Amino acid sequence: MQRSNLINILIVIVIGLVLYNIFTTSKVKTDIKKYQTEIQSLQKGIDSAKIVNKQIDTKIDSVTNKVSVITNEIVQIDNNISIIKKKTNEKVNSIDNLSNVELEQFFTNRYNQYNTSK
């Protein structure tokens, strides 16, 4: 008989726990409208961020193109400088090969062109 009493006590405890669980879980309610509002708000923020990101990407592309154009201009200027240096070196080297008479004639011709008193 003790065993049947023990089983009855366990059944009562289990039924009590089940009833407690049913009553306490029914009190938990979720505010779905609040969550939907928060989701919509977050989605608006995401959409705004996407728009700003596209604008930034457009500006980056524009700056990249401008940098490319400027780089090409710099390369062209460097090439021009190299050509000018080469021509200047050729002229300087050609002067080294002139005789004294030819040098005198060179400077006379060069600086007499600016002399307007004659």
The pLDDT of residue 29: 66
The pLDDT of residue 73: 97
The pLDDT of residue 109: 83
Q: What percent of the chain has pLDDT over 70?
A: 89
Confidence band, pLDDT 50/70/90 cuts, at residue 1: low
For residue 24, how many other CB atoms are within 10 A of its CB? 9
Confidence band, pLDDT 50/70/90 cuts, at residue 65: very high
Q: Which tens digit of pLDDT belongs to each residue from 7-58?
A: 889 999 999 998 888 777 665 567 788 889 999 999 999 999 999 999 999 9
Q: Any residues with CB less than 8 A from the CB of 98 and at least 6 apart, and which?
A: 106
What is the C-alpha to C-alpha distance for residues 87 and 93, in angstroms, rounded to an integer? 10
